[in-house]
A and B are shown apart, each in its own frame.
Chain A
């Protein structure tokens, strides 16, 4: 029997969100301009994008914290905006920057949130999983950034949600704590939770994500599985791999336009001596011959040449650079 696709736990269709007023001097500013996102149970859905792309606003619409100006949101089959306690009990939320009261101790906060649920996750189990025993009775104000992140994650999970939103769950964590959180997310996925997270750590996202949505300027510009995104067509080519070379000098626009294949600066490098350039679309030995001939024509002997698998970070750079 073929594997069945898990049921969606979250659907955003053409969601728009604007702030301001036509009557004010600054006018109306559209933060989301028609966002489509689908997340499924038992999967990790990652939303990435440059700062200001609308990731946190997308999550706020999905969580029911703000009402979209247009479009529809379905969270576990219900509109989350103004939803009752029955739906909120099934959803866990970890906000960016924690969303924690500063004067409270983690134990008091977690016990309080547990009391809002009929059958919460045993506190001691969560404390052990997230290694929080040492700071459970210290005021949240006095905790380090990483410790606060773990408390916020525990607060999102204590109600045993079916869907959990994690806004930058590993931001500010040391490698050991990050490992704990990544393992926990993997376990939650095994348990069948729908996990929707945002992150700036693209290497981590590449390992965890079942599907990725890349936001830019309030719209989803790419989406798919990591494999689909990193092997998908680019400028008519199939860039499963890319060739990276270091140029000993600046390359001119004329030289670049004469290249037989698309050549772009690698990542955020600047066009200078020693800069790394990425060549996309190499699929045959003939492509390598043509590339070698181009180097000969422009009199460039690359300092380094390497083949690299295309990563999520490459895709991110492609869509986020103007």
Chain B
């Protein structure tokens, strides 16, 4: 039997990185989550490209690839993390981890690290598929792409955690999946919205802001207003989560 000496936490950075790796491994091991995060966006990309080759109803590959990347970011940050966190909360695993040296703050930062790891894998895989299909992004836009991806991941992770921490796991599953499909199909993520009339109002949606920002980055530009919209959604979701998030269901 080991004797008891004063227990100390590991350094903060090591704790967060350890949790990020642990969460990433869990996501990659979880087949259903991988399907939503990677396979479905890949199918959307190939499908839209095929449609474009026969009709002009959908735009070309240079517009579609950034939109599909945005869809993938939403899948891992919003749907994937939301559902995983909702069930962890239902099983009490979230409450248990909040009592360890990781704490609530480390838990959220670790999840954010995991989202970014998965997003990097998604961008590499979907970007490679896009390049194979003829995508030709501006090299100077890659840095802006990274900025928009980080802002988008932050906004959608915060929104996913907000839903997961306030409603039942089953409701989180339904809400995040339906919201992902609606935002992906009609919320300005994959295909650009009309910038006039009602469409202009929809540009305030986080999905539209992420799609606009990604498409602008693909052309080598930084879309400032969509970035501000994403930052605004992040702040709102974090404030709401601080107010209503419950560690136990």
Contacts and interface: CB of A to CB of B under 8 A. Distances in A.
Main secondary structure of the interface of A (DSSP, over half): loop
A192 interface: yes
A85 B25 contact: no
A101 B91 contact: yes
Interface in B1-34: 1-10, 12, 14-15, 18-19, 22, 25-26, 29-30
B203 interface: no
A122 B8 CA distance: 15
B92 interface: yes
A237 to B, nearest CB: 43
B248 interface: yes
Interface string A64-98: 11000000000000000000111011110101111
A100 B4 CA distance: 25
B87 A112 contact: no
A115 B5 contact: no
Given A99-B93, A112-B22, A115-B18, A89 B9 contact: yes
B100 A99 contact: no
A187 B1 contact: yes
A281 interface: no
A90 B8 CA distance: 7
A192 B5 CA distance: 10
A97 B14 contact: no
Interface in A93-128: 93, 95-104, 108, 112-113, 115-119, 121-122, 125
A218 interface: no
Contacts of B29: 103
A93 B96 contact: yes
Contacts of B95: 65, 95, 99
A160 to B, nearest CB: 5
A104 B30 CA distance: 10
A155 interface: yes
16 contacts: A63-B99, A64-B99, A85-B9, A85-B15, A86-B8, A88-B99, A88-B101, A91-B99, A97-B91, A99-B92, A99-B93, A100-B91, A102-B87, A115-B14, A160-B7, A162-B7
